Structure formats: structure tokens, C-alpha cells
Amino acid sequence: KTSGIFFSDVLQHMAKHEVAYICFLANYQGTREEIKRQLGNDINTSPFTQVIRNPHCLRLLVVPNDALRGKGLYSRLWCDLEIKVAADEGLPIHIPTRNSDDYLLGNPRVSSMNARCGSRTDRPPNEDELLIRKGIEEMPPKTARSLTFEVCIVTMCAAFAPGLFVQCCMRSVFGWTLGLALGIFVGMGASFAVSRLCRPNLRNGYQVLDSVIDGAAKGWYHHRRVRPAQDIFSYLLFGGSLAVVDFLVRWNRDGFDCATIGIVEGLSAGVCLWPIARINHFGPWTGVYIMRPKTRRLVGLFLAACAGVSALFSYHYWNVIFGTHRTSTQAIGRGMTVGWLFGLLCLSAFCRKLWHSVNLAFMFTVALYDSGSERGAFHEIFLLLLGFGAVQNRGEWEVGTRLLLCCMQVGSISLLFYVGGKNPQNLLPMLQKSQCEVEDAYVFG
């Protein structure tokens, strides 16, 4: 009876195109020695971990049953390991039914610290239990909040480093590009330090795991989270390929100094084009997880249309409407970014994600205002909007925390606005104009 209910729930909450890994069916249920050889001596190479970390694993579906009601599903240590690895990988964690404490952590509520392998709690811990506990205690799970803070650290470093590098070291577009690369490198280093070095010493792994389970039950882990180490590197490969192509085209035509602009423009285009193929990676900003591949493709086409129409409009009318003196490349790039943000805003609003819609509306408004001004900090402000936007959307924030984050965001953006207005000659657009405006206007009309 219990198995019948379980499979009925699984089929109800799975899409037709999905393939499920169910441990008690996929793992060979042989003798104790055979099971031990299959699981190995390293929890990071166990079948559970390898499947969840596989790039083709897109989400974790949690299906509690009545057999463990009162004790809780997470009184079983193997289930704790699965949700820990899923949280580390930034996977969506869905608990669509039976998501109360009765079914998850028990009633009365018991921490995952008391979880065991197997139903016999009177026996001493076996080898599997010791291995799992070592993994949880030495490296607590990555919560959605910690992942968004890591993204914010990277984007803040990337936003402020180019201007500082230009002012202090090399006043050129190439210097701005080097500053951006240095900022990303420093930000990822700081993110790694917080994640790998500080986190084990600051947080109790079982308390963090309990908070992940609670958050998943409330829907805070419904969408994909960005993992700075993996996802930013993936974006850099994509955006970097566009940057290299743009750089080579400009170098052959205009020389090295002007060609360095192609690196910036290629990376900027990558930010707008990357989500078209990976829309779920922008879950922290949209609050949306799209399960069906066909729907993902349609949403990607919608984003591409928004960016394309906005870019064409900007190319023809931007300087006329705002009274600015943008080069054609700058007008197209800013128009594409504004259109892309508008597309994400429509997606969140359509899916009724209130906080995400409000945050994207703020990002869209600031980007539109900055595009229509002559201040030279569009790329830097856009990076700040992405970083703070990911943090602002967390569902667990209280009102006071939201106000504090909002003040920090407005203060950082105001600082960049001030610097852009005070010393515009030190920032990217003014540097671009010094050598490449004539060539740019010639090529784009």
C-alpha cells in the first residue's frame, strides 16, 4: 500500500520527459558486502552524490510517505545526504505534498543531528552513518542565502574594480577590461574563501541542514540557484567566446586600442544571450523554475525578441529621445540590456512572483534611467543590480533586513552615479569615445 501511494505521488508530480533516479530501485539491493562495495568509502563518490551532481540532474523531488509520519523523512540519514548535496549544487528542491513537520522532521520536531541509517536506533552507528556525518560536519550545506551572498560578493568586486584600476593604474579601455577581470578574480576568490574556508567554522552543519529542509517546505528552494564557482565560469566561457570574436573583428579593422572595446561588448552581450538557453539559471532573479523543455525554449525566444526589439529601437531612436550622444554600439548594448530586463520582469509578473517582480521593476527603472543619462557607469551599475537583486529576493528576510539591504543597494548605486558624474573621463563610455566613436558610427550607420 505504501509503495503504491509513493509511485502514485511520483508519477503525479513528474513531467513526461523526466527520468527519475529512485535509490531503492536504481541501487543493487544485494548482500551487505555488495552494498558496501557499491557505496564505497568516500561519500562524495557514492551513487547518490554522483547522480545529484551530474549536469543532467535538474531537480530533487521529495516524496514523503505515511510510513514515517511522526518520525519524519529526515530521520533517515541517507535522505539528509541527498538534500544536502542538492542544496550544494543549487538544484531546485520540490516538496509538493506532505510538507509539514510531521512528515519531514517529526512531531515532536527532531533535528537532523539525530537521524540514523536504518530504523534500528538502538544499534551503534555503522560505516555509512559515520561517512555521512563526516560530510555534513566538515562542510555544512550551502543554503540559498549563502549562494546569493556569494553572487553578490563577485558582482560588487566586478563593479568597483574597473573604475579603481582605471584611476590608479591604466587610463584606457584596456585598463578598464583588466580591472573587470581582476574584480571577477578577487570576487570569486573571496566567494571561495567564504564558502570553503569560513563556512565550516561558522555554522553547525545540522542546524543549516534543518534550515534547508524548512526552506524547501516553504518553497524557498523551488527555483535554481546560481553557483558562483561553476555557473560564472560557464558564463565566462560563453561570453568570452563572443568577446574574442568581437575583439578579433575590431582589431583587424581598427587596431588594438579600439579592439579592447569588443571584449566589454562581447561580455555584455553574453549576459543577455546566456539566459536564452539557460533561463532556469536566473531563478534567483525571476523566482521561476520552468520544467518543460518546450516552455523553456518559448521563454528563451520571448527574451530574445524583447532584447532584439529594444536594441533596434535604441539604435534608431535612443539619442533622439534622450538627447544623448551614444555611439551606435553603446545604444544597441544598452537597449538590449533594458529589453532583456523587461522580458525577465514580464516572466516574473506572469508567474505571480511578487518580490521578484518588484525587484526586477527596480532594476529595469535604474537601467533605463542610467541609459538615458550621460553618466559613465552603466556596466558597473548593472553588475550591482544583479548582485543585490539576487540577495533581495530571499523569502526569509524580515522587513528590517530588507530595508537594510535596500539602503546598501541604493547607496552603492548612488556612489557609482556620483563617480560617473564627477569623473566621467575615467569611465568606460568616455574612454571608448576617445578613439572609436568615428569608426563605430561608420560601421553601424
CB atoms within 10 A of CB 444: 12
Summarised one tens digit per residue, pLDDT across range 72-86 is 888 888 888 888 888
pLDDT the model gives residue 41: 77
pLDDT of 348 above 90: yes
- What pLDDT does 404 receive? 82
pLDDT confidence of residue 361: 92
- Average pLDDT on 392-417 reads 77
Cis peptide upstream of residue 108 (ω within 30 degrees of 0): yes
Most confident of 151-160, 169-178, 346-355: 346-355
85: left (phi over 0), alpha (psi -120 to 50) or beta: alpha
pLDDT band at 420 (very low <50, low <70, confident <90, very high): low
User: What count of other Cβ atoms lies within 10 Å of the Cβ of residue 185?
Assistant: 14
Mean pLDDT for the stretch of residues 37-65: 85
Cell 523526466 identifies what position?
Answer: 18
Q: What is residue 25's predicted lDDT score, i.e. its pLDDT?
A: 84
| Cell 509511485, located at residue | 7
What's the pLDDT at 390?
80
Residue 278's pLDDT is 82
Which segment of 123-137, 229-243, 322-336 scores lowest on mean pLDDT? 322-336
More confident residue, 118 or 434: 118
Whole-number Å distance between alpha carbons of 261 and 255: 11
CA–CA dist 213, 94 (Å, integer): 10
> CA–CA separation, 399 vs 394, rounded Å?
12
Q: At 435, is the pLDDT very low, low, confident or very high (cuts 50, 70, 90)? A: very low
DSSP H helical segments within 193-327, as ranges?
199-202, 205-217, 233-254, 256-277, 283-286, 293-322
Give the SS3 label for residue 273.
helix
pLDDT at 176 over 70: yes
Q: What is the mean pLDDT of residues 429-443?
A: 42
- The pLDDT, as a whole number, for residue 431 is 47
Band (289; pLDDT cuts 50, 70, 90): very high
* Mean pLDDT, rounded, for 263-275: 74
Across residues 328-338, what is the average pLDDT? Answer: 77
pLDDT for the residue 441: 35
Is this model's pTM higher than 0.85 or not? no
Residue 76, helix vs strand vs coil: strand
What interhelical angle do 378-392 and 144-168 show, nearest 10? 160
Helix (H, G, I), strand (E, B) or coil at 61: strand
